[in-house]
Amino acid sequence: EKGGFDHYMLKEIYEQPRSIRDCMRGRINAAEGKIALGGIKEYANKLKNVERVVIVACGTSWHAGLAGEYLIEEYARVPVEVEYASEFRYRNPIINERDVVIAISQSGETADTMAAIEIAKDKGATIFGICNVVGASIPRVTHAGVYTHAGPEIGVASTKAFTAQVTVLTLMAFYIAQQRGTLTTSKLTSLLTELNSIPEKVQTVLANNELIKDIAAKVKDSRNCLFLGRGSGFPVALEGALKLKEISYIHAEGYPAAEMKHGPIALIDKEMPVVFIATKNSSYEKVISNIQEVKARKGIVIAIVTKGDTEVEKMVDYCIEIPDADEAFLPLLATIPLQLLSYHIAVMRGCNVDQPRNLAKSVTVE
Ligand code: F6R
């Protein structure tokens, strides 16, 4: 049932070209620059005038939310707040009927996310769900929603559900932009055409598996690891760190790269691997200076770079190339090599990757 793979996690990582495609199916019309999200179409008018979006989630789903914040603010020009459901629910949150709350949950059963929804609903907000498990508790209590259609995710560490959540959030950002007129049809056409090519690009990232395994062998005995990125690379860094810690038990932290000098830089020495999201987008030059700061302190740098990059390659210990893409799609591509890196490190350390210790697939108690 693992389809010839050693673990569900690896199978699910490899399913991503298909799961991302399934998630987009029937929802985009690239030629006409149009998005159709049947689940929320009755709320098109609401979205046209929305003043604020609040995203609530936990764990990996919360990281997808951060990627969504970047997309919704950039394209739909609506302010977004991303909240840990567990914090939101106990804070007497300021929410009203003009707000749209998006709850993200793979399982659709997470207790804190459920409770956050109930509170926001009581305060009159419109609640959308982004869930993977059809008919689960969360999709039943939301006003409307969009399923991720990633298929069952068995590995406890979330992989294909994350990229599907980010895909839905990308579609939602474009959909809200469409209602509000913040994206021209020609820009939307070009973004959607590019989104259509993402599954193939994910396939080319997967082709780096052997290289990633070799890198994993070099760093598998580390005790700590840092993940750094800027802009839409920041949620990728957080997700990379979470994957590594949960399945390999190596202590890992994700940070915005610029925050390094406000503390974490003190940790860097020749034993510390630092993974950079160093692709060619708006923060490229700034990330390069952050890499120099780490190399000056003898840190071991692994960089996720844009295919054909030669500048970063000269400076770092290991490079993993991903295809060129608009910054909007960075999380969909740059997360894949980090999933594989964590997977191989965990396998080499003899860990149970599909069922890491102390973790459960759905967290139905707070
Ligand atoms: C990490 C992971 C968890 C979940 C979190 C939320 O790999 O799987 O962090 O993302 O427990 O779960 P859902 O999305 O089911 O609400």
Catalytic residues: 361
Q: What residue owns the CA closest to ligand 1's atom 13? A: 105
pLDDT at 217: 98
pLDDT at 361: 86
pLDDT at 281: 92
pLDDT in tens, the chain (366 residues): 899 999 999 999 999 999 999 999 999 999 999 999 999 999 999 999 999 999 999 999 999 999 999 999 999 999 999 999 999 999 999 999 999 999 999 999 999 999 999 999 999 999 999 999 999 999 999 999 999 999 999 999 999 999 999 999 999 999 999 999 999 999 999 999 999 999 999 999 999 999 999 999 999 999 999 999 999 999 999 999 999 999 999 999 999 999 999 999 999 999 999 999 999 999 999 999 999 999 999 999 999 999 999 999 999 999 999 999 999 999 999 999 999 999 999 999 999 999 998 898 888 888
Mention every residue, 6+ apart, whose C-beta is less than 8 A from residue 96. 123, 124, 125
Range 188-206 burial, b when 16+ CB lie within 10 A, else e: bbebbeebeebbebbeebb
For residue 106, what is the DSSP state?
A: S
Q: How far is the CA of 163 from the centre of ligand 1 (A)?
A: 13
Q: What's the predicted TM-score (pTM) here?
A: 0.98
pLDDT at 1: 85
Cβ–Cβ < 8 Å for 351, 9: no
Structure tokens at 122: 């009581």
pLDDT at 363: 86
pLDDT at 364: 86
Q: What number of H helices and E strands is found in the chain?
A: 15, 12
Indicate if ligand 1 lies below 6 Å from the C-beta of 113: yes
| Alpha helices (H) along 3-129 | 8-14, 16-24, 44-48, 59-71, 85-88, 111-122
Q: What is the rounded CA–CA span in Å between residue 118 and residue 353? A: 34
pLDDT at 290: 97
Indicate if ligand 1 lies below 6 Å from the C-beta of 267: no
pLDDT at 181: 96
Structure tokens at 202: 């994910």
Q: How far is the CA of 273 from the centre of ligand 1 (A)?
A: 25
pLDDT at 288: 98
Q: How far is the CA of 220 from the centre of ligand 1 (A)?
A: 24
